[in-house]
Structure 1
């Protein structure tokens, strides 16, 4: 869990929250919570998926430097497989908010699902493209997860994790069938379960 706090502030402490990594076949789900100062806002804030990697990286630096507080948290692959991806996503969001160095006066979450946070809460469908604090959370969560997947690619070569970040691309699915799942693959996801089953049958046939 990572966080940042500025010593001085004079604005409502509204935290924007977003997640990245619900759909991939591998890796954790990562959430971020960000409390932005009202101005100056980093230029170019929007949904992280609409930005280039270079723009996300540049914004990531500005957000972490200018935010009143921020926190990046995650739910592990083991937690995803144990409690399902939706509940793991909500867990990561709760951890991100709990990890803020300042207690927010309100929390605005991207989407229509409440993570079960105590206090004033607003769910905003499409908030990552509309609400600056949620956009900021979207950006730093994605940058953090993308970098983590690049590191995992070095540990588990052959799957292309640095390129597709764990999503179920044709290359990734073919590698799963050929190499079998790794400890960072989500066995509760059907393509991974099928690959694991195929490997077990091959082993049984000896």
Structure 2
């Protein structure tokens, strides 16, 4: 079997931000069910992503699996982002895959073959949370034997993976919108990425006013250490 035989595609969004969860999505669908204008989600406008996601969810022949990796899981010292990315893909895939399916995933590891092997083992192993599944799919109880291929940039090469990328991004954006409303008193969150000045301003403002990090922050990220250190230094200077 080759990636061209795939009936399931998977990708994740939000691996690098300092705020909010990471989200993975898997799509099980015939090729004809994928909209012609699907693309790597980073190349699509928010409105186009929403439209494509709605189209996919409305189709009876499309199954969607979503896995949301919380900040608590990300900050767990017993794990790491590479392992969590594998788990996210495996959970999303397990929500929709059927035994014998060929899966193509956007590789979340420098080694494509290692990522594929770990995701395959994750889907086939016991104890995987089936995540948030829409429209069908089999239970992950007992594991599902699938054939997984992983490639860097697969979201730009395979419509199934681009569809998964879009769904993951839409869900991640919805999570950020919810956090924006929850923390409205402390200003806009921005994109949630460490390089975003708006995000850094939000963290500084929150820490300055409360003395601690918000629950939506990945406390293990160096950005949070920097913000806490700056706040402590500012307090010492004032003292």
For residues 120-159 of structure 1, the C-alpha deviation after alignment (integer angstroms, 9 at most, x for no partner) is 1101221101101101100011001101110111111235
Secondary structure of 1:100's counterpart equals coil
Change (3 A) 1:104 1:44: farther
> Which segments of 5 or more consecutive residues in structure 1 lack a partner in the other structure?
1-11
Moved segments of 4+, more than 3 Å: 101-104, 197-206
**Residue of structure 2 in register with 1:178 after alignment:** 205
After superposition, residues 89-128 of structure 1 pair within 5 angstroms as 89-100=85-96, 102-103=98-99, 105-111=101-107, 112=112, 113-114=115-116, 115-118=118-121, 119-128=146-155
Partner Cα separation in structure 2 for residue 104 and residue 172 of structure 1: 43
> Which segments of 5 or more consecutive residues in structure 2 lack a partner in the other structure?
122-145, 208-212
- Name the Cα RMSD after superposition: 2.2
For residues 165-188 of structure 1, the C-alpha deviation after alignment (integer angstroms, 9 at most, x for no partner) is x11201211222232220110111
Give the conservation status (yes or no) of the 8 Å contact 2:28–2:97: no
**Residue of structure 1 in register with 2:126 after alignment:** none
**Residue of structure 2 in register with 1:55 after alignment:** 48
Partner Cα separation in structure 1 for residue 18 and residue 169 of structure 2: 16
Instruction: Give 1:46 deviation, angstroms.
Output: 0.8
Partner Cα separation in structure 2 for residue 31 and residue 94 of structure 1: 9
Give the conservation status (yes or no) of the 8 Å contact 2:105–2:161: yes
Structure number, greater radius of gyration? 2
For residues 3-55 of structure 1, the C-alpha deviation after alignment (integer angstroms, 9 at most, x for no partner) is xxxxxxxxx76210000001111111000010122214312011000000111
Report the TM-score, using the length of structure 2 for normalisation. Answer: 0.73
Report the TM-score, using the length of structure 1 for normalisation. Answer: 0.84
